[in-house]
């Protein structure tokens, strides 16, 4: 992988990671409710869940690239169309997003509903504006919740399968590239998880001013479209030559 391609990958993932998806919303919510130190357990769980999804994707790409190259070409084509769909949807629906606080509250309700047995001590926060929750879950529960939220998003596998092939040279050693790309992705995710955890109200207030959150999502949509077109052009060139 060339350095300029790596830079494009890192900048893209860094920008995409900034958008408030489930992982970031959980980091934001728990940072407000339980404090930064306790939320580090949740961030560890999110990282483990992300690693499992990413490893599953990369192992699949590795096997396919060696045994069925034509399937890899098909994955690139379908992945390009999927990213194109994500990009157009992100642009068109950007203005329909609610505030960061509202999105975090919705995620909080979903997480609480996924644990019907109350002894798990995962309380639905009374208010995201409060500094702490009366009954704090154990560190293990915080960790497990992070893993569950990360793994409960199967679309992440589709995204990785669509996104990564553009930045991998399948004619060279794959695992060295996998390690570099994985570290870059983890660096982006970790930085933004900490920002959402520590930033809390300040970040929410800044994003909710004007159309900043909408433009963040639109920018993410533009990145998806650009990478999608690059993938589709690559597939087209493959058939031409």
- Tens digit of pLDDT for each residue in 213-239? 788 888 888 999 999 999 999 888 878
DSSP string, 53-68: HHHHHHHHHHHHHHH-
Quickly count: other Cβ atoms within 10 Å of residue 84's Cβ. Answer: 20
Q: What is the pLDDT of residue 241?
A: 65
Quick one: pLDDT at residue 34? 85
**Predicted structure pTM score:** 0.80
Q: Which residues of the chain have pLDDT under 70?
A: 95-99, 105, 114-136, 201, 207-210, 241
Q: Where are the beta strands (DSSP E) in the chain?
A: none
Element (H, E) at 181: helix 174-207
- pLDDT confidence of residue 171: 86
Give the residue extent of every domain in the chain: 3-240
Which residues, in sequence order, are CB contacts of 11 under 8 Å at separation 6+?
A: none
């Amino acid at each position: 992988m060339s350095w300029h391609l790596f830079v494009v990958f890192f900048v893209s993932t860094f920008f995409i990671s900034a958008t408030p998806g489930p992982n970031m919303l959980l980091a934001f919510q728990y940072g407000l409710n339980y404090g930064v130190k306790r939320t580090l357990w949740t961030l560890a769980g999110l990282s483990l869940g992300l690693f499992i999804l990413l490893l599953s994707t990369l192992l699949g790409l590795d096997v396919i690239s060696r045994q069925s190259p034509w399937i890899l070409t098909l994955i690139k084509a379908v992945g390009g169309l999927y990213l194109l769909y994500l990009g157009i949807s992100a642009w068109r629906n950007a203005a329909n997003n609610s505030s960061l606080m509202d999105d975090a509250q919705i995620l909080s309700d979903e997480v609480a509903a996924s644990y019907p047995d109350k002894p798990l001590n995962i309380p639905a926060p009374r208010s995201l504006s409060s500094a702490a929750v009366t009954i704090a879950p154990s560190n293990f529960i915080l960790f497990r919740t992070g893993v569950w939220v990360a793994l409960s998003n199967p679309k992440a596998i589709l995204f990785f399968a669509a996104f990564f092939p553009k930045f991998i040279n399948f004619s060279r050693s794959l695992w060295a590239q996998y390690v570099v790309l994985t570290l870059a992705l983890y660096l982006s995710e970790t930085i933004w998880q900490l920002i959402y955890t520590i930033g809390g109200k300040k970040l929410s207030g800044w994003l909710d001013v004007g159309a900043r959150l909408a433009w963040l999502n639109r920018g993410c949509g533009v990145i998806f479209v650009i990478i999608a077109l690059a993938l589709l052009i690559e597939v087209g060139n493959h058939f031409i030559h």
